[in-house]
Chains A and B, each alone.
Chain A
Amino acid sequence: MAFQCGDGVADAFARDPVPAAAGVGLRHTHYDDFLDGGPAVAWIEVHSENYLCPGGPRLATLEAIRHHYPLSCHGVGLSLGSAEGLDAGHLARLRSLIDRFEPGLVSEHVSWSTTGGDYLNDLLPLPYTEEALGILVRNIAQAQDALGRTILIENPSSYVTFAESTIPEWEFCAEAARRSGCGLLLDVNNIHVSAHNHGYDAHEFLNAIPGDLVGEIHIAGHADTEWDGRPVLIDDHGSTVKDAVWNLLDAALARIGPKPVLMEWDLDLPPLDTLLGEAAKAQAALDRLAPEPGLLDDVA
């Protein structure tokens, strides 16, 4: 069936929820592997901006793969922290994508990329001030209105901080969610990277996060490297997950319970089996959680 969008055609996809299980990021290198639904992962996530095109094989491929997996659309370009506000055209294109593919989850970042209309292709850090919090909350509200749904916002990784910051990062993220009514995407790799780079305790971050607001968890690899002759962790999503991050994942799951966990890999993509192996480890971490009492009661 030819799929049409915005023409009053019946929805092709039901909005199936993303389950509290392990998923992987879908990248074009692995398109062929996923076309027939072969890989045994519970769900997939895509970068929304890669699919905001009018037509072509990329959209057709996602449509074919979407039939086999619940989907999460993870944005990298909305620039929720921009002082100048959001791009209405971008929001409209995102809305079309969401209407077409009915993702179970839609997420973005606590960061910014656009200033003066120029899109600086990176997730840039915000100062954690009341001013920035107000701007972020206003922009999230605009996005949720335009998209017609609740989004999740992801805690960022960063390399610099600002003396003017008056709010700890964990409070800033949680407060943005509380005030705007959005949820949180807890990236435990980002917590580890930022904690290491800025000298705070990752567990203090984790313990301050309201678990009931968390809708998804990210894990990824990072580079333990040097910049300007000094050590730094760079969040490059280019390797397997480090032990410290696996430990943080365990701690997060123990504290807030089972959530959808996504294995992200964007740089130097590995063979599919390597990616699936990391997802299997995340699934094992979920499986190690003691069943919730309510579930046992149901069985009995």
Chain B
Amino acid sequence: MLPDLQAAFRAGTIGRDGDTVAALSAAGMQNGHRFGIYRNNIFKSLTGVLEAAFPTIRNLVGGENFAVLAHRFVAAHPPRQPQLYAYGGGFAEFLAGFAPAVEELPFLPDLARVEWAVNEAYFEADAEPLAAGHLAGLAPESYAALRLGLHPTVRLIGSDWPVWDLWGLEALPDPWPPGMQGGTQCVLVRRPESKVDVVLATRGDFAFLGAVEGGATLGEAAAAGVAADPEFDLSACLAGHLAGGTFHSRIDFHGTGDAG
């Protein structure tokens, strides 16, 4: 029956169950020696999808290693929907659990998070970013109680590794430049219009934006910024992110006392 045949096709392709192919042939599949064409098409095409979404990782580990990673990922986590721009969301977590990769290149999962954030930002819903003019009517004393929202394309990735430096490289640096030796890097990804920005954020800005994302008022978020970085400067931070398109134009003026 058709459900059995289709389940057997799955087992014989991404399940790589060779016995299934023999069973299918015994049950009447003709030219079963060509079954491998389907297996090959599925793995090759999905490897290509992952290469397009994770180009830096592909370059840093090399094509052959990437194919091994992709193969294992596809077999363990096949797509659940046919729009393949959305395929690869679990790749970072998969890498984190794949010891041979992270023992040698421990930054790979975080780098994958940055690349996936770029992919998500690219396809995310379009929205108008907040401009300084939107806040023009607001009394200065109202700012502290204001709750801003992040632009829907914004993604925040904090890492123990220099992932902003690594993102976009075509090969592993050898030797690593002094500035990349260690240390955390916080990355902000956004697409206010057509182009995706991948921005290195200060620890203070990163903590501030994380608090805004969590629903904090500007006052609360500024406190989070200062806690993370004593040098945090709210007005410079706001000006920079208004110019960069980090916030959503939809604002909740509730509680500020202003009509908006």
Cross-chain contact A160 with B6 (CB below 8 angstroms): no
Task: Judge whether B80 and A227 touch: CB under 8 Å.
Answer: no
Q: Of residues 17 to 47 in A, which have CB atoms within 8 Å of B's CB atoms?
A: none
Interface flag for B133 (CB, 8 Å) = no
Cβ 8 A contact of A227, one of B10, B29, B34: B34
8 Å CB interface, B109-133 against A? 122-127
User: At the interface with chain A, which of B37-45, B62-70, B215-223, B228-236?
Assistant: B37-45
Q: In the complex, what residues of A have CB within 8 A of residue B214's CB?
A: none
Tally inter-chain residue pairs, CB-CB below 8 A: 144
Contact, CB under 8 Å: A163 / B81: no
Complex interface residues of chain A between 92 and 145 (CB less than 8 A to chain B): 93, 112-122, 124, 126-127, 129, 131-132, 135
What is the total number of residues of chain A having a CB less than 8 Å from a CB of chain B?
Answer: 53
Across the interface, do B82 and A76 meet the contact criterion of CB distance under 8 Å? yes
Question: Within 8 Å CB of B122, what residues of A?
Answer: 56-58
Contact residue among A50, A83, A164 (Cβ-Cβ distance under 8 Å from B6): A83
Query: Which residue of chain B lies nearest to A230 when distances are taken between CB atoms in the complex?
Result: B33
Q: Are A162 and B28 within 8 A (Cβ)? A: yes
What residues on A are CB-neighbors of B80 within 8 Å?
A: 117-119
CB <8 Å contact, B83 and A120: no
Task: Check if B123 sits within 8 Å of A53, measured CB to CB.
Answer: yes
Residues of chain B within 8 A (CB-CB) of A87 are 81-82
How far does the alpha carbon of A162 sit from the alpha carbon of B31 in the complex, in Å?
Answer: 9
Query: In the complex, what residue of chain A is closest to B49 when comparing beta carbons?
Result: A121
A131 to B57, CA, bound (A): 45
Question: Which A residues touch B127, using CB under 8 A?
Answer: 55
Residues of A within 8 A of B31 (CB): 159-161, 197-198
Q: Counting CB contacts under 8 A, is A171 at the interface?
A: no
Determine if B38 and A113 form an interchain contact, defined as CB atoms under 8 angstroms apart: no
Residues of B within 8 A of A77 (CB): 81-83
Per-residue CB contact flags for chain B residues 54-96 toward chain A (1 = under 8 Å, else 0) read: 0000000000000000000000001111111110000000000
**Which of A119, A135, A163, A227 contacts B2 (CB under 8 A)?**
A135
Nearest opposing residue in chain B for A93, CB measure: B83
Question: How distant is the Cα of A83 from the Cα of B6 in the complex, in angstroms?
Answer: 8
Which A residues are CB-close (under 8 A) to B3?
83-84, 115
A286 on interface, CB distance cutoff 8 Å:
no
For residue B260, CB closer than 8 A to chain A, the reply is no
A232 touches B37 (CB 8 A): yes
Contact B2 A83 (CB under 8 A): yes
Known: A121-B49, A162-B29, A198-B31. 18 other contacts (CB 8 A): A49-B82, A50-B85, A54-B126, A60-B126, A79-B82, A87-B82, A115-B3, A115-B10, A118-B79, A119-B82, A120-B42, A120-B78, A122-B41, A127-B2, A129-B2, A159-B38, A160-B35, A228-B33
Instruction: Give the B-binding residues of A (Cβ under 8 A).
Output: 49-50, 52-58, 60, 76-79, 81-84, 87, 89-90, 93, 112-122, 124, 126-127, 129, 131-132, 135, 159-164, 197-198, 227-228, 230, 232, 234
Q: List 6 A-B contacts (CB under 8 A).
A: A121-B41, A121-B42, A121-B82, A122-B38, A129-B2, A160-B29
Interface residues of B (CB under 8 A from A): 1-3, 5-7, 9-10, 13-14, 27-38, 41-42, 45-46, 49, 78-86, 122-127, 191, 194
